[in-house]
Amino acid sequence: MTIALFTVVAYLIGSLSFAVIVSRAFGLPDPATYGSGNPGATNVLRTGRKAAALLTLLGDGGKGWLAVYLAKIMAPEYGLGEAGIAAVALAVLLGHIYPVFFGFRGGKGVATALGVLLAVDTWLGLGTLGTWLVIFVFFRISSLAAIIAAVFAPFYDWWLHDLRVMTVAIAAISVLLLWRHKDNIRRLLSGEEGRIGKRKDAGSAG
């Protein structure tokens, strides 16, 4: 019962789509109506409002971090256990991807997943972020950086902590991210994916 409650709360936290919330606060168009149609920081940035994009990024990443952090600090009192924390990590990402408050039309989950990883283990999150940065600097393709970072994340956790329940949850998160980037993967394989700084970037990660 406790795990179910924490999982539901985490899902509801994840369902707070900051791309939509921030856009409304700034008087910007619904992010589903322009660019990639993806409610994420990358798409919000296409409006030219860098502050809005930054707030979206911090909000989406922050909710992932907050859900897992609260679960970790409350775990001893409520007997949550590692499986419960892993369930929370997965649930907050599912909330972002399929938000109940916004017609189940959410983002691709990159920022939220990073927040989750930072809360699970700071070094895990930083290592994954470092992977994203290296790939992005070399190729200037946000989606490619997100895909490769997602693939490496469960292996980083395995290396840091050996195989555990959380490793399986992180692997599931990686699969979800890859699924959400399936169109980007198709464009990457066909050489059609746009690079940051060029006009053809409608399918970038966000």
Please report the pLDDT score of residue 197 as a whole number.
Answer: 60
Which ranges in the chain belong to alpha helices (H)? 2-14, 18-26, 41-45, 50-78, 81-97, 110-120, 122-139, 142-161, 165-180, 182-190
Taking all residues of the chain, what is their mean pLDDT, rounded to a whole number? 93
CA distance 151 to 156: 10
131-181: per-residue pLDDT in tens?
999 999 999 999 999 999 999 999 999 999 999 999 999 999 999 999 999
Residue 121 to residue 88: CA distance in whole angstroms: 15
pLDDT category at 1 given cuts 50, 70, 90 is confident
Type of residue at 152: F
**Cβ-based burial of 197 (10 A; exposed 0-12, middle 13-18, buried ≥19):** exposed
pLDDT tens for 27-43 read: 999 998 898 888 999 89
How is the chain split into domains, by residue range?
2-190
